[in-house]
Structure 1
């Protein structure tokens, strides 16, 4: 019995060693094939005013600013065992003042995996693009495209996709326009000289730490969130909640079937909040309440201000002050609560 146990343990140890050596061998071949098939392409800026990136098939695109006058494309090589010869191709065509780059991202048709260890984590199907600042406008379009952008500086960026997410950090752009059907839009730490327009039919929109002339957000089935923004806000939302935190500028929110949360102090611009089927919660410092006109109305709800008794449960108005704070709901409550004049806190939805 003891000899049988030792024999079984010995065989198990041999199998583990053999499997480990096989996985190491597999990894080495995988790494060698990836390096051999890695894609590095570029072309020099050709005095075009617009660059169009037309993405075929599904793809994950990473954008960054080029440190020269070239457009660069990099993609990791093919998986070991793939029958394909290329993982992505591009075709560059210039016509008049527009250069169109068609990128065909190939979908891997076969991948071999080691029996014991999985090295999928070393495989990255993303396409990395570095873009020069020379173009007056860059357009990205595709059916299924996830886009991430870090430390990107451009004149104008337009994104038109049917499905995919957009994530950005530290953008410096004059104009940003995103039209999407299905996917989340996330903008963090952005400086926009002019206008920003973010539209998605089904998805959340999140803008934080951003400066702009105007920001327009539109979603039908998702939440809208802003925090620490400077510029005029216009938000349209049908079936999601809207949350605005610490903003400087005009605010215009039109919700249909959801709640509105407004949290800001030192208010000096007009605020207009409207929802049909939802509650409206306002949080502000006492000075913002005392120094601005107030117009709060609900048809089938209750108006509450600092938990005080009001002469009317469905409306409240005051005519003092320069800026106007207006909140209306057809089927919801409206409440005003106090925060500190130096408050900087906010919470994510």
Structure 2
């Protein structure tokens, strides 16, 4: 028997339940992975709360790392005992095991441990498409990244610094400012005490920034637009404070012919070739030491609800994982 986190109705962390089930055999084109560590992400909260609808009852989680313990018919690229990681569903990572299509799985270099992979796969691939594809960050670029001390932000600060960019990161405390700076941020802005647009204007001598990366959503939308230079790109990739609604195209014109995009990992890692390219890029910066995954919190699998509460309350730094 194996443990699996389920929920029968959407709501708060209290809807999560631990169930015991017998792990099924993988079907055609699938593998079964014995999880060694599981990644926790804000998207999990969106699914649990109903912001991102899922058929009920539902499972939770899309990211983890472990060892293949069974392969289905037609799977030739993996074998029992392989160390692997994954970041894109199906839902069900919050479990002792997961059955998943083999084309969503990547072989894990032995130099990268399970906890690092589970804590970094989804966030690292997100940063890959943000910095390398959505907007190609180059040397001497000055960029604004919200929630710079969080899981995605911590990786982004390091990776952008390695690319030679200057990161202005928003934070909510002096402690988080120190974290962002230690990860390579050039400057930080405490949004609880300072006006983000005014401070960006000061730091850039009025030039503002060519791109803003915003995972906060509703609460920061207007300020983010105000930080952009003419023809700047607003990258809204999360909804931590709620979804952005009622986008006014006239405001984009007034701001200086601004661009807006709402990307997702699925929109970029949409083929096996692109998925492998993105993983290779991410694993490369890990192995080079340009990016280190900071695991700020570890929760037992059965404490997934507590982990969700801590993440929602912004009580976490770096990445959070569930342990088995």
The structure carrying a bigger strand percent of its residues is 1
TM-score by length of structure 2 reads 0.26
RCO greater where, 1 or 2, for CA within 8 Å and sep 6 or more? 2
TM-score by length of 1: 0.25
